[in-house]
Amino acid sequence: MITHDFLNRSVEIHSTPQRIISLVPSQTELLADLGFEKQILGITKFCVHPKPLKSTKTFVGGTKQVHFDKIEALQPDIIFCNKEENTKPMVDELQNIAPVHVSDVKTFDDNIRLIREYGKILQAQPQAHQMIADLKAQNISFQSFIKDKPFKKAAYFIWRDPWMAVGGDTFINHILKRNHFENVYANKDRYPTIDIYDLPDLDILLLSSEPYPFKTKHFSEIPVDNSKIKLVNGEYFSWYGSRMLKAFDYFTRECH
């Protein structure tokens, strides 16, 4: 079978993959939830869901740097990557080991496409179809919940020292929009460095739990009324795949 990934790269698969390397945490979780936990052999140190993986799989590095020798030793049938998480030189090198599928997820519809493609590649169309149906139903319910909520001018911080926020053309920015948060940095490139002493007018400032683990102790460092600052679980804003099945309930419960 020859398919094309999100970068329109040809991916040739000779049989249903039984030996999988996943170099993206959210995609690792998706593969497990589609029923392929046993087939996953290698993961990154950031692949923390589902929890049993940490004690049963081989760590092959991070998302930006991997041990190619470890990956090659696992003799994978396919390697799953992501344009933002994994570098092009890494993907080029991995291509010498096994077929590489690269995703590029920036919207809810992109996420639906990812699940559908994984279902096709893994011959798991029924599981993928059910997951997509569940996601679409939850999305409709959330859109009904959010439609009359006011829009709020928001910033979403992901790093400290230097302070970094989320800009446009990102999955997080898309999720902010869906929550009626108007990202004040949407006109900036993906993850701009911010001067916290020159912040625009905000209704709410969201501090993510990842990649930097913000805590309440950091509120005092930001010249914004503390009542406008909120800690949020970054996994629900930045993880696509099956994590979105839990995200809509989190947004309804914790963000509005």
Task: Looking at the structure, tell me whether residues 115 and 35 fall in a common domain.
Answer: yes
- For residue 94, the tally of other CB atoms under 10 A from its CB is 22
Give tens-digit pLDDT for 54-97: 899 999 999 999 999 999 999 999 999 999 999 999 999 999 99
Residue 222 lies in a domain: yes
Task: Looking at the structure, tell me whether residues 7 and 53 fall in a common domain.
Answer: yes
Domain around 230:
152-254
Structurally, the chain folds into a number of domains equal to: 2
pLDDT value at residue 179: 98
Task: Looking at the structure, tell me whether residues 83 and 182 fall in a common domain.
Answer: no
pLDDT value at residue 54: 86
Task: Looking at the structure, tell me whether residues 117 and 39 fall in a common domain.
Answer: yes
Residue 147 lies in a domain: no
Distance of CA 78 to the CA centre of its chain: 20
The per-residue pLDDT of the chain, averaged, comes to 97
Task: Looking at the structure, tell me whether residues 127 and 32 fall in a common domain.
Answer: yes
- Cβ(11)–Cβ(17) below 8 Å: no
pLDDT over threshold 90, residue 187: yes
Out of 105, 137, 169, pick the residue that ends a domain: 137
Give the confidence band of 252 by pLDDT, cuts at 50, 70, 90: very high
187: domain CATH number is: 3.40.50.1980
Task: Looking at the structure, tell me whether residues 249 and 217 fall in a common domain.
Answer: yes
Question: Region 142-169: what's the mean pLDDT?
Answer: 97
User: What DSSP designation does 32 have?
Assistant: I
Task: Looking at the structure, tell me whether residues 117 and 156 fall in a common domain.
Answer: no
- Cβ(113)–Cβ(178) below 8 Å: no
pTM above 0.85, yes or no: yes
pLDDT over threshold 90, residue 183: yes
Percent of the chain exceeding pLDDT 70 equals 100
Task: Looking at the structure, tell me whether residues 165 and 236 fall in a common domain.
Answer: yes
Distances (CA, A) of 98 to 62, 66, 145: 18, 15, 44
pLDDT over threshold 90, residue 178: yes
pLDDT value at residue 1: 87
pLDDT value at residue 249: 97
pLDDT value at residue 188: 95
